[in-house]
Amino acid sequence: MHNLAYKFCKRKYLRKKHILKVEESENRDYVYLEDPLLLARFAGYLKSNLGGAYKVFFRGQNEDYAGMVPSLFRGVDGNKKEFEERINAYENLTVKWRNTTKANRFGGEIGGALLQHYGIRTPWIDLVDNLFIALWFACHKRTKIPPYTFCPRKCDKFGWVYFLQFENPVCSTKHRIASEGIEVGKKTKWCDLRSSQTSLSLRTHVQHGIFGTLRDLNYQNYDLNNLVIASVKFPITKDFLDIVSIPPTFLFPSTVYDNTYKYLLGDKFKKLVEKGFLGQIVEYKK
């Protein structure tokens, strides 16, 4: 965890008014707090102190896992053959899909990140720069049977918000590579789908879709855990649930509103997806 997180938790005037402490777990040190506004203050503190050369993005989860592994690589466990098989399957899918469709939105690396947003397993990990969206995912859990929806979690559970630091190539022209909307640094790369996608891909806009990964992926280097500069654990309470009372149908617009979602649910794309580790487009309740 970044020194700034420890420094924030040592502020006496905050500790007098709030429950605020650093705790340890098997996976990582984390900040424990119980006030939504204190979480917002912590987020602002990190972003204001680490801005400029870096971008700080958020990720909300309802479980704390040991790593921060993109969906394509979960279960690889450093196996070179498994890693290469998955990468090849992913790259074959993106090439075949670009050759099949005339829609420019699926071109280049941006097209791969877009597929991640709709349920395909890719080398990208979902991020946001909106704290409310991160909180929403931390406070909700997806149902187990399709078509899926999300339900608010019970008040005896905990949520997690992670803060990940990516290079901001705009501030370092030495490492900047213009690549179809991908911001490429020395070690990381990320993209903001709101800037590269029209409103036809509506989900990317309502969810503030940002995607990140490592620049040089290989079977020994695919976990983004080293980019996590802080994590926050908080209890699911009415105060938090009131803030994130947005219905799932807004964050996951139906095919009536989201043309990309409708397009990817079609038979043309389904026929290209290999069964197994690439998954399928996730279908949600209308």
Could you report the per-residue pLDDT of 193-229, keeping only the tens digit for each? 999 999 999 999 999 999 999 999 999 999 999 999 9
**In whole angstroms, what is the distance from residue 52 CA to residue 61 CA?**
27
- Of 128, 68, 123, which Cα lies nearest the Cα of 94? 123
Helix axes 131-139, 36-50, angle to 10 degrees: 130
Mean pLDDT of 72-84: 95
**In whole angstroms, what is the distance from residue 230 CA to residue 141 CA?**
22
Q: Hey, CA dihedral for 30, 35, 40, 44, is it positive or negative?
A: negative
Lowest mean pLDDT among 40-44, 80-84, 151-155, 201-205: 151-155
**In whole angstroms, what is the distance from residue 239 CA to residue 230 CA?**
22
**In whole angstroms, what is the distance from residue 173 CA to residue 166 CA?**
15
For residue 178, pLDDT over 60 is answered with no
Mean pLDDT of 140-149: 92
Q: Please, are residues 121 and 111 in contact by the beta-carbon 8 Å criterion?
A: no
Q: Is the omega angle on the peptide bond into residue 248 within 30 degrees of 0, that is, cis?
A: no
Report which of residues 201 and 156 the model is more confident about: 201
Phi, psi of 70 (to 5 degrees): -55, 150
How deeply is 245 buried, as exposed, middle or buried, from its count of CB atoms within 10 A (0-12, 13-18, 19+)? exposed
pLDDT averaged over the chain? Answer: 93
Name the pairing type of β-strands 29-33 and 228-235: parallel
For residue 187, pLDDT over 70 is answered with yes
Mean pLDDT of 45-69: 94
pLDDT value at residue 20 = 98
119: left (phi over 0), alpha (psi -120 to 50) or beta: left
Report which of residues 175 and 226 the model is more confident about: 226
Helix axes 80-100, 108-117, angle to 10 degrees: 100
**In whole angstroms, what is the distance from residue 257 CA to residue 246 CA?**
17
**In whole angstroms, what is the distance from residue 139 CA to residue 141 CA?**
7
**In whole angstroms, what is the distance from residue 250 CA to residue 75 CA?**
32
User: Cα-Cα-Cα-Cα dihedral of 178, 181, 187, 188, to 10°?
Assistant: 170
Which pLDDT band, with edges at 50, 70 and 90, does 176 fall under? low
For residue 170, pLDDT over 80 is answered with no
Q: What spatial distance separates the first Cα and last Cα of the chain, rounded to whole Å?
A: 40
How deeply is 17 buried, as exposed, middle or buried, from its count of CB atoms within 10 A (0-12, 13-18, 19+)? exposed
Lowest mean pLDDT among 95-109, 211-225, 241-255: 95-109
pLDDT value at residue 173 = 57
pLDDT value at residue 41 = 98
pLDDT value at residue 179 = 60
Which pLDDT band, with edges at 50, 70 and 90, does 264 fall under? very high
Q: Please, are residues 157 and 62 in contact by the beta-carbon 8 Å criterion?
A: yes
Lowest mean pLDDT among 1-10, 122-131, 271-280: 271-280
134: helix, strand or coil: helix
